[in-house]
């Protein structure tokens, strides 16, 4: 079973939509075949271009369509490690939930997203 690390970021007055869009763009630079699921509604988006950020408050970003299908079928298993990032946005604060920050690509993604914000807090 996979654990998780919460990364809480203060958005410096940016809107929820700006923060979420910036985070997703950063992830897509590293995961070129990313797909998305609104964690509240279950709506699936094959690409960034299909997303509309207005109203989305919780988003799963999967590394690939295969990762999405594996998470849907098996959930948090070792084979799915670091293939999904959970984004939560509320009141100008962005929380990212990742499996492990020791992974180089995950660390690069988090560092890039951190540059959009001011406060960086890791809570296991």
**Structural domain of residue 61, as residue ranges?**
5-123
pLDDT tens-place values along the chain, 124 residues long: 456 788 888 777 788 888 899 899 999 999 999 999 999 999 999 999 999 888 899 999 999 999 999 999 999 898 999 999 999 998 878 899 988 777 788 888 888 888 766 544 444 3
Instruction: Report the number of distinct structural domains present in the chain.
Output: 1
CA separation for the pair 62, 86 (Å, rounded): 9
Task: Please report the sign of the dihedral spanned by the C-alpha atoms of residue 100, residue 112, residue 31, residue 16.
Answer: positive
| Distance, CA of 5 to CA of 14 (rounded, Å) | 23
Longest CA–CA span in the chain (Å) reads 38
> Judging by DSSP bridges, how do beta strands 58-62 and 120-123 pair with one another?
unpaired
């Amino acid at each position: 079973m996979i654990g998780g690390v919460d990364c809480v970021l203060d958005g410096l007055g940016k809107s929820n939509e700006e923060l979420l869009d910036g985070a997703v763009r950063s992830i897509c630079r590293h995961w070129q075949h990313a797909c998305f699921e609104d964690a509240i509604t279950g709506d699936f988006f094959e690409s960034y271009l299909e997303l509309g950020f207005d109203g989305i408050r919780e988003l799963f970003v999967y590394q690939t369509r295969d990762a999405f299908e594996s998470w849907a079928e098996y959930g948090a298993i070792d084979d799915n490690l670091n293939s999904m990032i959970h984004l939560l946005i509320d009141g100008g604060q962005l929380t990212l939930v990742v499996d492990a920050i020791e992974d180089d690509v995950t660390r690069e993604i988090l560092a890039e997203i951190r540059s959009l914000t001011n406060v960086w807090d890791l809570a296991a």
